[in-house]
């Protein structure tokens, strides 16, 4: 090509002359990828219909096929409602002892729980506890990876990222958590395992889960829709039980798009429902399956109680002084588990497990089982042991068996209750809590 005068050649400039097709593709892909990776704040709408109105299929496909869980079968109605602020006697007699899920619309009154108001703002949590390490589920597609990170970092991203705080309560937060009246005395207080804090943003579907423990979950912000399924349907959901203490089981079922052909039994499972908002609570007995969909800025506290047989029921209750408000978790009988510095799960007696406390922890680990076997002991041991623990779970269990129950390979409940102080101190040493306790023990002391 030449200029208008026809004397100076001018080279035509085109995009393709400066960039090869490969470079052009990489440039455009990078720009598009950068745009796609920019997180946007999630929808905080909480005005949704629940339970769903299932419609009969006219396409020849099963009802609710490739629809969210709950569309496959009409619910059996609401979870049993316990009005007001239920007492320990009511919670035990109506919910825990018969194994009946219960909804408590006034379970945690906001006026008795100042933290319920303060923690409804990210700023309050960030300023008070931003440096604490917490457990966070990060989701990508249907895959969930667990991480431990500072609460401050979680709060900076969870309104845009698919992150959910689902953490055993750090010890530093215990004195700020109010305990509902229904847990103030009796077996539910005696066998309290710990508390779990959850926080998410926008619509979030959690998988179907089941726990070894009773749970009382109270909402402090947002909305949570519960589907509660009887224990007899555990087999229909292919539960995968965790080897971690307090984790329970998770179903691989895709709760957002249920394949009825592949999960026929799960689609036929009966279920009841409840919706939690600020101030309300739900009691889910051990072994029941539950699925939660949360909306908005959903903040809950869950108290976990081991379902240890308690023939005497509720006794020795101290009534709350009017006007005093609800006691904090640190004022109650110490739960077994807390989140220690560094994000490690540890018993509260972190500076050496005393024999009486260790006996109690073993009984709680047994839950409703008649005997302590190697599997249950190993799950407890892995959670309670410090990094410097000198023994593996199997070796420690053989030492604990000693003469009692060694032939059967397990300890009965009465065997655990009768364990000597010396044998419990030896177990504490095996857990790494007291390096000197396990040495030079006389035969009679064991």
For the four alpha carbons of 322, 324, 326 and 330, in that order, the dihedral sign comes to negative
Q: In this predicted structure, what is the pLDDT of residue 434?
A: 66
Whether 165 and 198 have beta carbons less than 8 Å apart is answered as yes
Q: Report how far residue 66's alpha carbon sits from residue 63's, in angstroms, rounded to the nearest whole number.
A: 9
What pairs with residue 68 in β-bridges? none
- Residue 6 CA, distance from chain mean position: 79
Q: Report how far residue 284's alpha carbon sits from residue 217's, in angstroms, rounded to the nearest whole number.
A: 8
Supply 166's token pair: 């689902």
Q: In this predicted structure, what is the pLDDT of residue 110?
A: 82
How far is the first Cα of the chain from the last one, in angstroms, to the nearest whole number? 101
- Residue 208 CA, distance from chain mean position: 12
141 Rama class: left (phi>0) / alpha (psi -120 to 50) / beta: left
What averages of pLDDT result for each successive group of 10 residues across the chain (446 residues)? 47 46 46 51 92 78 94 97 94 97 94 84 95 94 89 97 94 91 92 95 97 97 98 98 88 97 97 97 99 98 95 71 71 76 64 80 94 94 88 93 69 94 93 59 42
Supply 82's token pair: 């316990």
**Best CA proximity match to 241, nearest among 296, 283, 289:** 289
Q: In this predicted structure, what is the pLDDT of residue 197?
A: 96
Return all residues near 10 (Cβ < 8 A) that are at least 6 apart: 1, 2, 3
Return all residues near 18 (Cβ < 8 A) that are at least 6 apart: none
Q: Is 115 exposed, middle or buried (0-12, 13-18, 19+ CB in 10 A)?
A: buried
Whether 205 and 290 have beta carbons less than 8 Å apart is answered as no
Q: Report how far residue 75's alpha carbon sits from residue 68's, in angstroms, rounded to the nearest whole number.
A: 13
Domains of the chain: residue spans and CATH: 80-337 (2.60.120.650), 349-430 (1.10.238)
Supply 201's token pair: 């943003």
Q: Report how far residue 428's alpha carbon sits from residue 406's, in angstroms, rounded to the nearest whole number.
A: 19
Distances (CA, A) of 126 to 150, 167, 253, 344: 10, 16, 35, 21
Q: In this predicted structure, what is the pLDDT of residue 50?
A: 96
Q: In this predicted structure, what is the pLDDT of residue 19?
A: 46
Entry pTM? 0.87
Supply 250's token pair: 């998770």
Distances (CA, A) of 13 to 5, 9, 10, 18, 22: 19, 13, 9, 8, 18
Q: Where are the beta strands (DSSP E) in 306-425?
A: 337-339, 345-347, 371-372, 411-412
Whether 237 and 251 have beta carbons less than 8 Å apart is answered as yes
Q: Is 208 exposed, middle or buried (0-12, 13-18, 19+ CB in 10 A)?
A: buried
77 Rama class: left (phi>0) / alpha (psi -120 to 50) / beta: left
Q: Is 342 exposed, middle or buried (0-12, 13-18, 19+ CB in 10 A)?
A: exposed
């Amino acid at each position: 090509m030449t200029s208008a005068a026809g004397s100076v050649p001018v080279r035509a400039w085109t995009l393709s002359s400066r960039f090869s097709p490969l470079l052009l593709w990489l440039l455009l892909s990078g720009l598009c990828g950068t745009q796609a990776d920019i997180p946007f704040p999630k929808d905080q709408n909480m005005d949704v219909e629940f339970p769903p109105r299932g419609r009969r299929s006219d396409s020849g496909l099963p009802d609710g096929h490739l629809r969210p869980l709950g569309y496959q079968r009409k619910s059996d109605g609401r979870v049993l409602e316990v009005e007001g602020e239920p007492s320990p006697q009511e919670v035990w007699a109506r919910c825990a002892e018969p194994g009946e899920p219960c909804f408590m619309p006034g379970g945690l009154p906001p006026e008795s729980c100042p933290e319920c108001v303060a923690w409804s703002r990210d700023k309050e949590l960030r300023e008070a506890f931003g440096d604490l390490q917490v457990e966070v589920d990060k989701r990508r597609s249907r895959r969930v990876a667990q991480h431990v990170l500072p609460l401050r970092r979680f709060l900076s991203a969870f309104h845009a990222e698919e992150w959910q705080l689902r953490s055993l309560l750090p010890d530093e937060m215990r004195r700020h958590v109010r305990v509902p009246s229904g847990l103030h005395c009796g077996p539910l207080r005696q066998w309290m395992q710990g508390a779990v804090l959850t926080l998410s943003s926008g619509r979030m579907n959690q998988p179907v889960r089941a726990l070894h423990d009773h749970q009382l979950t109270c909402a402090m912000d947002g909305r949570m829709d519960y589907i509660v399924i009887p224990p007899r349907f555990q087999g229909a959901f292919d539960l995968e039980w965790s080897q971690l203490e307090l984790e329970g089981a998770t179903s691989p079922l895709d709760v957002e798009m249920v394949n009825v052909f592949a999960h026929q039994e799960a689609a036929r499972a009966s279920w009841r429902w409840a919706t939690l908002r600020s101030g309300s609570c739900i009691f889910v007995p051990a072994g029941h399956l539950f699925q939660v969909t949360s909306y908005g800025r959903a903040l809950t506290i869950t108290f976990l109680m081991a379902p240890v047989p308690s023939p005497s029921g509720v006794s020795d209750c101290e009534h709350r002084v009017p006007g005093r408000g609800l006691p904090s978790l640190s004022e109650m009988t110490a739960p077994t588990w807390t989140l220690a510095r560094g994000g490690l799960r540890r018993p509260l007696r972190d500076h050496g497990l005393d024999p009486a406390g260790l006996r109690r922890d073993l009984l709680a680990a047994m839950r409703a089982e008649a005997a302590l076997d190697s599997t249950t002991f190993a799950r407890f041991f892995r959670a309670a042991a410090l990094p410097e623990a000198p023994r593996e779970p199997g070796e420690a269990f053989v030492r604990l068996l000693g003469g009692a129950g060694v032939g059967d390979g397990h300890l009965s409940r009465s065997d655990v209750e009768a364990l000597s102080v010396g044998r419990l101190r030896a177990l504490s040493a095996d857990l790494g809590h007291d390096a000197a306790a396990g040495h030079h023990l006389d035969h009679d002391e064991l």
